[in-house]
Amino acid sequence: MPDLKLIIGNRNYSSWSLRPWLALRRTGAAFEETLIALDQPDSKASILAHSAAGQVPILFHGGLRVWESLAICEYLAEAFPEAKLWPDDLEARSAARSVSCEMHAGFTALRSHMPMDLRNRYPGQGQGPGVEADIARIVEIWSECRATYGDSGEFLFGDFTIADAMFAPVVGRFHTYAVDLPPVAAAYRDAVWNCPEMRDWVSAGEQEPWVIEYSKK
């Protein structure tokens, strides 16, 4: 049995589960996965059985437990340095951490009006106060990172890093709501959307039976 275990929510809806799952897949380490369906009568109790925080995701590594998405990603970067989940260069690494934290803490309008729903398409929906500004800032981040640090590959800092994992749910949202993007941002969106790990996650999410109703007006 693998020494690593990740507790996640529904792939179709759980943006916070997607982020460390991608990072863990990029390490190449074998891991066990437990999915707890969200928005069910027993969901909270099932999650609390693993963590008093009452939220997914949760990582177990041997006897160690880490909860919260960005904390899990940081732990994986330290536990698997060969995976290079942060850029080697200090300046690039500082920028990658900054944009990851900005994603982690911000863009509340986008989250609220465009909830993640990977298997459906809602073109023209998801608009609301602050959404346009959030999209503009995300496009700015992607464009600046690609121009400044992305020469060695197709991701924000060339190779795939935690920064890409943090923005992966946004990529999913931009697909779901058919958000129009300028060429550089669109190319980056497609690179993340088509990477093997993201395709595996989306494919599995498309097969899930659960439906959570959100308002997308």
CA angle 116, 7, 3 (to 5 degrees): 140
Is pLDDT of 215 > 80?
no
Residue 188: CB partners within 8 Å, gap ≥ 6? 142, 146, 154, 155, 156
3-state DSSP call for residue 39? Answer: coil
The percent of the chain in helix, strand and coil, each rounded to the nearest 5, is 50, 10, 40
What is the structure's pLDDT at 213? 82
Mean pLDDT of 99-127: 96
Dig out the tokens for 71 from the structure: 């904390």
What is the structure's pLDDT at 210? 92
Mean pLDDT of 38-64: 96
Is pLDDT of 17 > 70?
yes
What is the structure's pLDDT at 217? 38
CA torsion, ordered 114, 117, 122, 127, to nearest 10 deg:
0
Mean pLDDT of 128-138: 98
Is pLDDT of 189 > 80?
yes
Average per-residue pLDDT for the chain: 96
